[in-house]
Amino acid sequence: MTRRLLILGGTAEARGLAERLVGRPGLRVVSSLAGRVADPRLPAGEVREGGFGGPAGLAAWLREHRIDAVVDATHPFARRMTASAVAASAETGVPLLVLRRPGWRRRPDDDWRWAATLEEAAALLPGLAGDGGRVFLTTGRRSLAVFAGLDDLWFLARSVDPPEPPMPRHTHVVLSRGPYTVPGELALMREHRIDVLVTKDSGGEMTTAKLAAARELGLPVLVVRRPPAPDGVPLVDTVEAAVAWVGAHAG
Ligand code: NAP
């Protein structure tokens, strides 16, 4: 009997998991993407794109496609999708695993300041960057609106697709997609005479070079804390552990 697995994706870990599982005898794997990135990196195997229509929509989708297990491998900051997966799993009884890579670890020579939310980061930024300060903003194109109004600061905003207004008056956009290298990040930060780096605590290897570059340049980093993992749902932080869970629940 074929078992069916849904991977909620959009991360390197989700692609890694699909890569490991696609082609296993007796297992059908569907990866789901939000459909926001114009040219997404596609996982191996079957892919569907677009929102499900909230928790009820996801629950209906799970029933309709007779899904046996779900791995939520979305980004640690994809709060709504994770909440939706938790609710749909509770409603349908389909087992759910959250695969979330670990957050970054501060080194002794790092100058990190923490913000609970993007909004708090925006409130802290003028004090940290100073008048006319130059900020490297790496929190994603949809976060720019939160920083709109900080018109005394200059922003280098990096994103995969172009951001849309509102955004700070002095914003220079650079479009690119990781992974990044330390020499590349150093060159970018030096070229734009960056004073402060702002990042989410996304974790992972793909975008860690900016932290090493900030360390080398002695720059402060404003780190937005990740939302807490959901209560009462099994949580793993490696693809390996997720593969084992799938073996037990949909193998
Ligand atoms: P979000 O705020 O939690 O999600 C908003 C809505 O988008 C969800 O309610 C859902 O719509 C839809 N959605 C999100 N992820 C989906 C998925 N994998 N498959 C189908 N629908 C999905 O999420 P987000 O922060 O916008 O992230 C969107 C996607 O980008 C996720 O796949 C995430 O892994 C990836 N990503 C996010 C970040 C980040 O910093 N947030 C960074 C890198 C990659 P419905 O309610 O209609 O189902």
Are 7 and 98 within one domain?
yes
Q: Inform me whether the pLDDT recorded for 187 exceeds 90.
A: yes
Query: Residue 110 Cα, ligand 1 centroid: separation in angstroms?
Result: 30
In whole angstroms, give the CA distance from residue 184 to residue 120: 29
Check residue 1 and give its pLDDT. Answer: 86
With respect to residue 107, please indicate whether it lies within any of the assigned structural domains. no
Query: Residue 5 Cα, ligand 1 centroid: separation in angstroms?
Result: 18
Q: Which two tokens stand for residue 13?
A: 């870990």
Which residue's CA is the closest to the ligand 1 atom numbered 24?
78
Note the pLDDT tens digit of each residue in 16-48: 999 999 999 999 999 999 999 999 999 999 999
The answer, yes or no, to whether any atom of ligand 1 lies below 6 A from the CB of 35, is: no
Question: In terms of residue numbers, what domain contains 238?
Answer: 3-102+228-249
Here the CATH number for the domain that contains residue 79 is 3.40.50.720
Note the pLDDT tens digit of each residue in 51-107: 999 999 999 999 999 999 999 999 999 999 999 999 999 999 999 999 999 999 999
| Start-end of H helices in the chain | 12-21, 54-64, 79-92, 118-129, 144-147, 182-191, 209-217, 239-250
With respect to residue 217, please indicate whether it lies within any of the assigned structural domains. yes
Check residue 227 and give its pLDDT. Answer: 96
With respect to residue 128, please indicate whether it lies within any of the assigned structural domains. yes
Are 82 and 149 within one domain?
no
The ligand 1 atom at the shortest distance from the C-alpha of residue 8 is 18
The answer, yes or no, to whether any atom of ligand 1 lies below 6 A from the CB of 206, is: no
For range 113-136, the mean pLDDT: 96
Q: Inform me whether the pLDDT recorded for 251 exceeds 80.
A: no
Check residue 142 and give its pLDDT. Answer: 94
Split into its structural domains, the chain has a count of 2
Note the pLDDT tens digit of each residue in 126-183: 999 998 999 999 999 999 999 999 999 999 999 999 999 999 999 999 999 999 999 9
Check residue 250 and give its pLDDT. Answer: 87
For range 108-120, the mean pLDDT: 98
Query: Residue 148 Cα, ligand 1 centroid: separation in angstroms?
Result: 23
